[in-house]
Amino acid sequence: MNLPIKPTIKPTPDDLERYRGYLKLLAQMQLSPKLQVKEDASDIVQQVMLTACTDLCQFNGQTERELKAWLTKIALNVIAGRGRHYSRQRRDIAREEPLAMSLEQSSAVLHRSLIGNEPSPSEGAIASEEVERLTDALMQLSEAERTAIVLKHLHGLTLEEIAERLGCSSNSVGGLLNKGLHKLRSYLCK
């Protein structure tokens, strides 16, 4: 939905709060598994919120979509900065991948899971709405279920790798995935 936030008034820090869940999911999707060991998505979100509140006067948009895009850009910059911080000494330019390309790939995974091949413009708009619905549905899952689904289906980790991350057994991860995907389907079919 592309509704005006407040037609003539800049958004407030309270307006930004409703995007905390979206930003956390974005951080979980964008943080590489190697970086997730060192950084928590909540820390990224906190930095994004701090930056956004500090730079709120620089936001020039009028719609929720523009605000969301602005927050996404800040989040990607924070994640890129954290990635640079941890790879300064072992930096290999040949292995670097632009963060925007990584975001496009993550979005493409979500889009493909929802729609299939190349969408037309109207199908693209519908897919964008579906991605928002998927994001909202993912936010309704427990933290463990959401993390297991993101690590498995967006980062391609094995059950064993996810189990190691979550500090549980592979069977438990399988249960989290099964239960989480079942809930996700029920939320999306409403």
Each residue's pLDDT tens digit, 70-121: 898 898 889 888 878 777 655 454 454 555 555 555 555 555 554 445 555 5
pLDDT the model gives residue 93: 46
Write the pLDDT tens digit of every residue in 36-50: 777 888 889 999 999
CA triple 75-23-190, angle to 5 deg = 145
Q: What is the CA radius of gyration of the chain?
A: 17
Residues in a beta bridge with 63: 4
Instruction: For residue 74, give every residue at least 6 positions away whose Cβ sits within 8 Å of its Cβ, in sequence order, or none.
Output: 48, 51, 52, 55
Confidence of residue 64 (pLDDT cuts 50, 70, 90): confident
Q: Is the CB of residue 24 less than 8 Å from the CB of residue 42?
A: yes
pLDDT the model gives residue 112: 54
Write down the pTM of the prediction. Answer: 0.56
